[in-house]
Structure 1
Amino acid sequence: MDGMVTLYTAEQHEDFELHENLEHGYEGTEVGMEVEAAREGVEATTVVEEEWDDGLDLVKGQEFRTKTAMQVLVQRGAHKNGFEYDTLKSDTGRFVARCRGAKEGCKWYLRVAKLKNSDLWTVRTYVKSHTCSVVTTSTLRNRRRGTPQVVASVLGEEYPGRYDTPRSSDLISMVTRKVGVKVSYATAWRGKRLAANEVRGTPEESFSMIHSYMHMLKLKNPDSVSYVEVDAAKRFKYLFFAFGASIEGFVAMRKVIIVDGTHLKHVYGGVLLVATAQDPDRHHYPIAFGVVDGEKDESWTWFMNNLRSVISDVDGLVFLSDRNASLIKSIREVFPTAAHGYCVWHLSQNVKGHVFNNRDVCAIKFRECAYAYTVAEFDVLYDAFSRKYPSAAEYLEKSVEVGKWARCYFEGDRYNVDTTNAAESINGVLREARKYFMLPMIDVIIKKMAEWFNKHRKKAAQIPATKKLVPTVETQLSKRSLEARCLDVVEINSFHLEYNVNGSDGKVYTVDLARKMCSCRCFDIDKIPCVHACAAAKFLSVGTDLHLQDFCSVYYTVEL
């Protein structure tokens, strides 16, 4: 074996066979003296200790980016190969360790130092061989424990570049299998968090780089807008950002903005604010995002003021939200001319909390009232609702204006948008990202928006030139056109384009094509011809070059 001296002593032979390492002489050493003594006929007994490699595979001059990276490598090697070591020195410029069995003669030794004028660390002295007993060290009472850094290194190997890693409870067995050491749940949790920080950065890094990040965002996304607010101590307070593409495309969107806030789930907390629209084909269309400390008067007002710099207080603007008091106040102050409605779904969940039985049925009946197109229909439905759920009706009448939730009473054009589902859906898509720190979370937002825009751009490019309306409205009107074939139409006023249409329900509906209105009010509110308007348009089109899309809102056309 390399590095070993083997002596053969026999009573009948005077010769000795000597196997030596060619690199090392033994003259003047204890081994050399024993050889000489043996040659002189002196009986000698040599105790030979077997050497074994530490498994680290280090070489003199090897460099590490950080001291921690080197320490983790040594720790993992010690756990995996069954040796223990003591740290003799560990400071900002050096790390020195020796085997815990040094007192028994083990020569394992490691010295690593920081290079001058560099952040790199390099191996200066390294003796890789052990002569200590693995059997002894594996049963020591004060064996080295697993650290969060070791857990993080295992995750870095098994899940490189990924945020989503196994639960802390599952990491315990994984580390045991990979490294040979058992860690506590707390250590596994800290290691999981450390691994996540290595991928997405620390919160301090996110906050310190936010100005540079926003600067580059605007360089790569022309016409984007961002604002960063800091407190008196120059610490981060608020963030607002809107992409140039979103700002430009809002011109073609229906002017209904859905706003909502959702809590961030990292150590610093905070709230992510979202302002989104819905494109005519009912896809998400995020306009702006904000990061604030909470849903308070000051933070919502700050966000709304910045949102106004992006979209301005245009005519016909409508906001839809939950009933957060600070949000309601900020919209009233910053957008005084805009109409403001409440999410019907959220309100239905509040309403059902005021009844004791059949709560889900109560919520459904309330939504039926809210979705009624005509006042007459609403009165019938709400009268039945009030008699069946008097406590819920009392709550509504005391706490919420009917014009904020009932479709037929709403002052403004909210089309078919009655809930904040668009914003809630975006919050759901960002469920995991909300656990990240600021910059990684923004990375996810950018990636998701680019994915959506690219997908919908391709879909729009595939619309045939013969189709003038977005696919959802095209399909809807196709069905209504077929139903309209079976309805009788009576012309009332050819000059004003007024008609009476006998509906399939036996009622007579008055349609005014010139003003794009129908007594069923679907045409008025949704800005899409109802089945009665389709029948009247079919009657009018006889002998004329008339297209049904001419009666739709311009926002539903493929090209605005």
Structure 2
Amino acid sequence: MPSYRKMWKARHDAVVKIFGGWEESFTRLRQFMLALCKHNPDSSFLIEDDPLFVNNKLKPENRVFDRIFWAFKQTIEGFKHCRLVIFIDSTFLYGNYKGCLFCATGLDGNKHIFPIAWAIVDCENTRNWDWFMSCLRVFVTDQSDICVISDRHIAIKKAMQQDWWQPPNGHHRYCLRHVLSNYNTKFKNPDMKEALRKAAHQIQKKKFYDAMDTIKSEHPDTFEWARNIPLEKWTHSHDGGKRYGSMTTNTVESVNGMLKGIRALPITTMVEKIFFQCVQYFDTRRTTFREQLQLGFNLTPACRQIMNENLNEANSLNVRLFNRDCGEFEVWKDRTGDNHIVKLYERTCTCEKFQEIRIPCSHVIAACQSMSINYEQYVSNYYTLERTLKCYEWQFHALGHHDDWPTDNDPILVSDPNRKRSKGRPTSLRKMNEMDWMVIQKRGDPSKIH
């Protein structure tokens, strides 16, 4: 049986034979991006490079690759029809050269991942995150009131201090899984960690404060730790509806898992594979939503499921009309004694679920049914099939033969020798923490952890 070293070298040689060498790939990167933008007009990319010195002498015919940002026209236009939430995260590369892949994603009206933009940089630091977040504003979206969800990396927090990401232009929120992971690292108290999770998911402020009072009485240190994090950053109750109910960055992490095999390839091949995956992804989603529209549906399947669940619950509720002119109702359930105030014209309910995800809660549905009002009119436009289909309506176009690609007249890009990985097998799996073990327990398949 051949040794592990020989098998690894054979794999490396196969990659080079199929996709070309890593150094050669840097020289092809700019031309590939020019071709992509030629056949998919208004796509955006930005390559930054540095001068090359050899023996202290400048070589003007070459430039050293530093970093690249890119976003396809199709994803830029599609995001205009998504909810105003962006998930950002990074994942390391494990080819011949060290680096990180930054990724920004959104959610369409069916809770599907929507790819937005990418970047390849040398590492995860303030310089690169600040640049990536600036590129999102310059090339992708200038919309205000956008919510950005991320982990608590210090570099991301500093990047989010830019004016165009400050309220009301933008709102920074933390991934709850990462917040709880930070807690677990410090205290290793699973009971209090679960109590914090439940408190964070409470939508009503009163229930949140009740949960935190219990935590304070049982474990004051946990209460003090959580109090040092701004409440709007990690709780449902103080979020103001900016998250649309999304508490984690699971979406972008799923994308990172999908790209695991790609992250070991030469840089141009990596960008090319991401392009082809988006082509297939858009075509699949476009076909699916068109079929849904042809079947006569108006709302996305995910929205319809939530509505059906709320409708079943609404059938057991009691309703009292208080003001017909402003659409004010009191809604309650006999068994629990809980009662809520619905104001249809203001689109509010004191349970706050309606304001959080912009889909009628059971109380709103009950109030509408009592007056024979069509409650679907109170569903946010983001959840309609027509709008969701618009996310994917921009079609990708083939790039043609590379002999017909635009000529790259800029200095030749070369790799940075300082980023070349040392000999030995690169680590392809990051160190796992308790978040990963929770997933293993749910899925029962350690091979799916990336």
TM (normalized to structure 1)?
0.64
Are positions 1:548 and 2:375 aligned together?
Answer: yes
1:215 partner amino acid: L
Higher relative contact order, chain-length normalized (CA < 8 Å, sep 6+)? 2
**Runs (5+) with no aligned partner, structure 1:** 1-169, 173-183
What is the CA-CA distance between 1:412 and the residue it aligns to?
Answer: 5.1
What secondary structure, in the 3-state scheme, does the structure 1 residue paired with 2:69 have?
strand
C-alpha distance in structure 2 between counterparts of 1:272 and 1:381, whole Å: 38
1:218-271 CA distances to partner (integer Å, 9 max, x unpaired)?
123232111111013211011011111111111110010001111111121111
C-alpha distance in structure 2 between counterparts of 1:464 and 1:436, whole Å: 39
Are positions 1:524 and 2:351 aligned together?
Answer: no
What secondary structure, in the 3-state scheme, does the structure 2 residue paired with 1:462 have?
helix
1:457-472 to structure 2, matched below 5 A, reads 457-464=286-293, 466-472=296-302
Are positions 1:186 and 2:18 aligned together?
Answer: no
1:384 partner amino acid: T
1:480-515 CA distances to partner (integer Å, 9 max, x unpaired)?
223212211101111110100013632111001111
- Determine the structure 2 residue equivalent to 1:209: 28
1:547 partner amino acid: N
Asked whether the 8 Å contact 2:240–2:356 carries over to 1, the reply is no
1:96-107 to structure 2, matched below 5 A, reads none
1:108-123 to structure 2, matched below 5 A, reads none
C-alpha distance in structure 2 between counterparts of 1:467 and 1:505, whole Å: 35
Fraction of identical pairs, as percent: 30
- Determine the structure 2 residue equivalent to 1:198: 17
1:30-179 to structure 2, matched below 5 A, reads 172=2
The CA RMSD over aligned residues, in Å, is 1.7
- Determine the structure 2 residue equivalent to 1:275: 104
**1:347 corresponds to which of 159, 166, 179:** 179
Pair 1:464–1:307, CA change in 2 (3 A): closer
- Determine the structure 2 residue equivalent to 1:379: 209
C-alpha distance in structure 1 between counterparts of 2:285 and 2:336, whole Å: 38
What is the CA-CA distance between 1:363 and the residue it aligns to?
Answer: 2.8
Greater shift in the superposed pair: 520-529 or 439-448:
439-448
- Determine the structure 1 residue equivalent to 2:311: 481
Are positions 1:229 and 2:26 aligned together?
Answer: no
What secondary structure, in the 3-state scheme, does the structure 2 residue paired with 1:463 have?
helix
What secondary structure, in the 3-state scheme, does the structure 2 residue paired with 1:332 have?
coil
Asked whether the 8 Å contact 1:370–1:407 carries over to 2, the reply is yes
Pair 1:362–1:440, CA change in 2 (3 A): farther
- Determine the structure 2 residue equivalent to 1:498: 328
C-alpha distance in structure 2 between counterparts of 1:458 and 1:365, whole Å: 43
- Determine the structure 2 residue equivalent to 1:23: none
C-alpha distance in structure 2 between counterparts of 1:291 and 1:522, whole Å: 38
- Determine the structure 2 residue equivalent to 1:404: 233
- Determine the structure 2 residue equivalent to 1:98: none
Asked whether the 8 Å contact 2:75–2:116 carries over to 1, the reply is yes
Pair 1:226–1:483, CA change in 2 (3 A): same
What secondary structure, in the 3-state scheme, does the structure 2 residue paired with 1:419 have?
coil
What secondary structure, in the 3-state scheme, does the structure 1 residue paired with 2:292 have?
coil
C-alpha distance in structure 2 between counterparts of 1:390 and 1:199, whole Å: 59
C-alpha distance in structure 1 between counterparts of 2:313 and 2:241, whole Å: 29
**Runs (5+) with no aligned partner, structure 2:** 53-62, 388-450
C-alpha distance in structure 2 between counterparts of 1:194 and 1:355, whole Å: 47
Pair 1:217–1:505, CA change in 2 (3 A): farther
Are positions 1:310 and 2:142 aligned together?
Answer: no
What secondary structure, in the 3-state scheme, does the structure 2 residue paired with 1:391 have?
helix
1:476 partner amino acid: I
C-alpha distance in structure 2 between counterparts of 1:478 and 1:380, whole Å: 30
C-alpha distance in structure 1 between counterparts of 2:12 and 2:293, whole Å: 51
Asked whether the 8 Å contact 2:204–2:352 carries over to 1, the reply is yes
Pair 1:203–1:316, CA change in 2 (3 A): same
What secondary structure, in the 3-state scheme, does the structure 1 residue paired with 2:46 have?
strand
Greater shift in the superposed pair: 271-280 or 411-420:
411-420
C-alpha distance in structure 2 between counterparts of 1:392 and 1:235, whole Å: 48
Asked whether the 8 Å contact 1:318–1:412 carries over to 2, the reply is no
**2:248 corresponds to which of 416, 419, 429:** 419
1:555 partner amino acid: Y
What is the CA-CA distance between 1:356 and the residue it aligns to?
Answer: 4.2
**1:362 corresponds to which of 178, 186, 192:** 192
1:510 partner amino acid: I
- Determine the structure 2 residue equivalent to 1:323: 152
C-alpha distance in structure 2 between counterparts of 1:209 and 1:464, whole Å: 42
Pair 1:468–1:547, CA change in 2 (3 A): farther
What secondary structure, in the 3-state scheme, does the structure 2 residue paired with 1:510 have?
strand
Asked whether the 8 Å contact 2:92–2:101 carries over to 1, the reply is yes
What is the CA-CA distance between 1:329 and the residue it aligns to?
Answer: 1.2
Asked whether the 8 Å contact 2:293–2:385 carries over to 1, the reply is no
C-alpha distance in structure 2 between counterparts of 1:381 and 1:365, whole Å: 8
What is the total number of aligned residue pairs between the two structures? 372
2:210 partner amino acid: V
Asked whether the 8 Å contact 1:373–1:521 carries over to 2, the reply is yes
**2:115 corresponds to which of 267, 286, 289:** 286
C-alpha distance in structure 2 between counterparts of 1:386 and 1:200, whole Å: 58
Asked whether the 8 Å contact 2:330–2:340 carries over to 1, the reply is yes
TM (normalized to structure 2)?
0.79
1:9-67 CA distances to partner (integer Å, 9 max, x unpaired)?
xxxxxxxxxxxxxxxxxxxxxxxxxxxxxxxxxxxxxxxxxxxxxxxxxxxxxxxxxxx
What is the CA-CA distance between 1:376 and the residue it aligns to?
Answer: 0.3
Asked whether the 8 Å contact 2:91–2:100 carries over to 1, the reply is yes
Pair 1:259–1:500, CA change in 2 (3 A): same
C-alpha distance in structure 1 between counterparts of 2:247 and 2:344, whole Å: 25
C-alpha distance in structure 1 between counterparts of 2:219 and 2:257, whole Å: 32
Asked whether the 8 Å contact 1:266–1:436 carries over to 2, the reply is yes
Question: In terms of Rg, which structure is larger?
Answer: 1
1:123-180 CA distances to partner (integer Å, 9 max, x unpaired)?
xxxxxxxxxxxxxxxxxxxxxxxxxxxxxxxxxxxxxxxxxxxxxxx6x1xxxxxxxx
What is the CA-CA distance between 1:379 and the residue it aligns to?
Answer: 0.7
2:378 partner amino acid: F
1:308 partner amino acid: R
What secondary structure, in the 3-state scheme, does the structure 2 residue paired with 1:269 have?
coil
1:554 partner amino acid: N
